[in-house]
């Protein structure tokens, strides 16, 4: 396979990561809109949003896994496929943390007098910051290794 094919594959990976970032933005905006419907939440709209976002994340994830396989099999770049493995684990963790944060925010909104709910929101936000740092590090390693001449 030609080096340009590798470059195209790497480029496609970055496009998918950008799509993931955009999906998270939409997810967050949708959840904020959902919270504004409280205390009688519009759960049906939110459920539809979760369904759409889940579909988007699934599609992105499947394509990223295909790229991982191609990097490993077609280009003999196990280093890059390993970065993607690590990234996928952290992305899964990020999604789980995001869901926990959304639930915690709703609990905090529903019980403004209970400091434990506010504290839970702060804790999860800290975990998300740590996760973002780990994701950034993995992406940096991927970028460095993918730009190395063969």
pLDDT tens digit sequence for 100-150 = 999 999 999 999 999 999 999 999 999 999 999 999 999 999 999 999 765
Q: What is the H or E stretch that residue 31 is in?
A: helix 3-36
Task: Report the chain's terminal Cα–Cα distance, integer Å.
Answer: 13
Contacts of 83 (CB under 8 A, 6+ apart): 138, 141, 142, 145
pLDDT tens digit sequence for 102-111 = 999 999 999 9
Token pair 């925010």: residue: 105
Cis peptide leading into residue 82 (ω within 30°): no
Residue 68 in tokens: 């991982």
DSSP state of 73: H
Q: In this structure, what CATH number is given to the domain that contains residue 93?
A: 1.20.1420
Residue 84 in tokens: 């993607």
Q: How many domains does the chain have?
A: 1
Strands (E) across 59-147 are located at none
pTM beyond 0.85, yes or no: yes
Domain span at residue 21 reads 3-147
């Amino acid at each position: 396979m030609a080096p340009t094919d590798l470059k195209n594959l790497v480029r496609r990976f970055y496009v998918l990561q950008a799509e993931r970032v955009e999906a998270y933005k939409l997810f967050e905006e949708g959840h904020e809109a959902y919270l504004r419907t409280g205390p009688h939440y519009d759960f049906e709209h939110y459920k539809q949003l979760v369904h759409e976002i889940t579909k988007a994340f699934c599609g992105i994830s499947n394509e990223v896994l295909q790229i991982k396989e191609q990097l490993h099999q077609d280009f003999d770049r196990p280093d890059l496929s390993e970065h993607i493995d690590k990234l996928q684990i952290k992305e899964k963790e990020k999604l789980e943390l995001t869901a926990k944060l959304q639930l915690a925010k709703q609990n905090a909104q529903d019980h403004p007098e209970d400091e434990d709910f506010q504290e839970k929101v702060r804790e999860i936000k800290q975990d998300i910051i740590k996760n973002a740092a780990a994701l950034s590090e993995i992406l940096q390693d991927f970028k460095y290794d993918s730009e190395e001449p063969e």
